[in-house]
Structure 1
């Protein structure tokens, strides 16, 4: 089966959980066999893992015809694609886009991030999707998250193939209910046009059904999983301070992730015990506010802000931790606690997270219950038996949550959708 997938992030260049989930699911599907996946991203960097999916860059797809010599194509594109593909794509330009701003290869350039002109990039991505869909044959189209829904819709219109959209989050999650009507419109259109919808949790499934008025029969939950640890990650050795415990928050410092509840819980723990340090690892629009809040609570000397971490840095931080906490206000799934549990770090998660539906060997609290959160932290760092139980059983549990199983569920959905179409 041939799947044409549209995504926005792909490791090693990721800015959040979307890229991690897209990578894990695609790899898991490939492991199931009989899958040929073309994965489209706005901007390829050339160091993506291409062993299980064919990576196509929207930024290397011409929408305006240019007479480019072979030598130039090789010089400019060989780092990330076979130059011959450029000419194949050029043969499938379907309209006159000469009015658009393109580079000397006739391609629209993309940031590969989440720029201020994000809506413009989403629209441009959907235009390029038409060329790509005409070039690469497929049996089904799969769009990851709202940024790629317009591209998936266009590809469906071009090919007549069924569209599956994957809801990794909704704007209700990202905005704490203060929904952007433009984003909601894009999400709603994608859901209406899709032949089937995959959500990463039952929590998200209910949001899709209730807030976007979608037929429940059209929506299926496929929980996320976690990638097995590489030898490089397993080999990381981080010396621990035996006199002090480390409690870590790792993620975007935005209102969706509930960072202020982490700071408030830290202040309560520090009233009971002074042999603990708190780390907020990540970046986001609430970072300065959290620095000020820590100062107001008079805990700055026990509180650390690392900034954005990626790759090995994430696991170095986790391995240095005694407790991991995810106090998200609305978390569609949340892969980071699984990553923490993989390296034996006891985890506390909010009941308002999708991963709470499948995890047992964690402590679950309401995101707003700062006292319960503080009690859970204090108990883990104080009672060795509790720490050991969560460490050992948590790792055993998470090692069985594999992307291959999630991948097979998605493939089964593909078969049903194609059969129905």
Structure 2
């Protein structure tokens, strides 16, 4: 085979064979195919698209470009989750312990934040001493011993995806549904889980801006999973306002711990219980969704999930006192300022993306890869769409490093809001659920 022939075939709108896709990915991974040819191929895919069969094959080829975990010596069945990213999305910190409390192992490889979306690894590193860079042996041992690990992706896991993503980022080919879906799912397949729950965000604070686009991505990822022998559930969830109240790093960890203590925001708690219930259902810990939800609620109420979180913190070198008194252990911003409502009325909208960018500009996120972040800064959002607010009532709390940051951040946050004189319907947490089982 020749790379140029494969590029030309896709450029002209033809369907690639499994062998052609596998050959191309294999030779790009081992540097036989240069970046300029891979860039041409990615652009051809961007404009011509891929069939579900092609995309499933591409995903499998990327997953098998490096190591593929096998967790079956630890448990007969494992379940993974993935969120497509959002503002205030700290669900892994709660969902992982909820599911692991059932005895169902959760081996999660997470990423860092970029732009307005936060990263789970950055949040966990707010905990003094917490290590996210585990070796393969440490990762597997922790799964076996406590049934819960959240760490960074190792370099030998889906290396083709790492190479291809960096190339897409530099060649304006990121926004391709087949390439997005295969990137996400290749890492999930390489992670070795038998079943996967996807949390696909939609709205102004998500990469998928419309319900149609989110549903297209979710449906394709479910099909990829099923074609590769995985049982799949995809939830389409709202990101037209921040999830929970806290947006940042340390503040999101604190909110996650408070949620595990039973004192979290209503929307965030319900979201986590729903995702956990779907994982428990796919993990065959319950026969119905309602039974799985009740099980997750029980793990929250009895403190079993909190104890599992504490075990994970201890295993990864973190200060376990954070579980009892997070506010005294986590980094705290020296400056706090309350943003008051300039008028009375109903909140009609909160631009989640702009709230996330306000935190980035405070130093709590990255504008480009490699930027350092300030774990202490952030924003607390005190109201949701549909709430009635009196003039002078607190809308946000800014957690800043310097006094000079307050005024521009306040202006930016107030601009995220739209108002109504008449009642506004609250936003739903979820819009759709897409399910399919390879084992059916």
For this structure pair, what is the TM-score category when the shorter chain's length is used for normalisation?
0.3 to 0.5
Structure-2-length-normalised TM-score: 0.33
Q: Which has the higher contact order (CA 8 A, sep 6+)?
A: 2
Q: TM-score, normalised by structure 1?
A: 0.34
